[in-house]
Amino acid sequence: MADWFCLFYMGFFGTVLGFVWYYEGIRTLGPMKASLFINFVPISAIILAFFILGEPITPSLFVGAIFVSFGVYLTNTASTRKTSPAFSDA
């Protein structure tokens, strides 16, 4: 019975609910911004492995997570910044 519950849990929460939320994000943010957040999948795997499996978070994993987070942040804020008049087409 525990095996069936684990299969249901992974199938529903890991797949169905994950895709529903991802497609809701695409509808809300648009495909270009939403596609950037796929970069958080490895970071969430690191965090879950730390809490569930007791895996250590090494300095290289931590620095990589910071780089990914900062890159997603920069990419999302770059589209909202105004371009300077020197670079405008007008």
Q: Are 39 and 72 in contact (CB under 8 A)?
A: yes
Fill in the DSSP letter of residue 86.
Answer: G
| Distance from C-alpha of 88 to C-alpha of 76, rounded to nearest angstrom | 20
Matching residue, tokens 């970071």: 43
DSSP 84: P
Cα–Cα distance between 42 and 39 in angstroms, integer?
A: 7
What single-letter amino acid sits at 78?
A
Query: What is residue 32's predicted lDDT score, i.e. its pLDDT?
Result: 83
Residue-wise pLDDT tens digits, 49-81: 999 999 999 999 999 999 999 998 988 786 555
Q: What is the pTM of this model?
A: 0.61
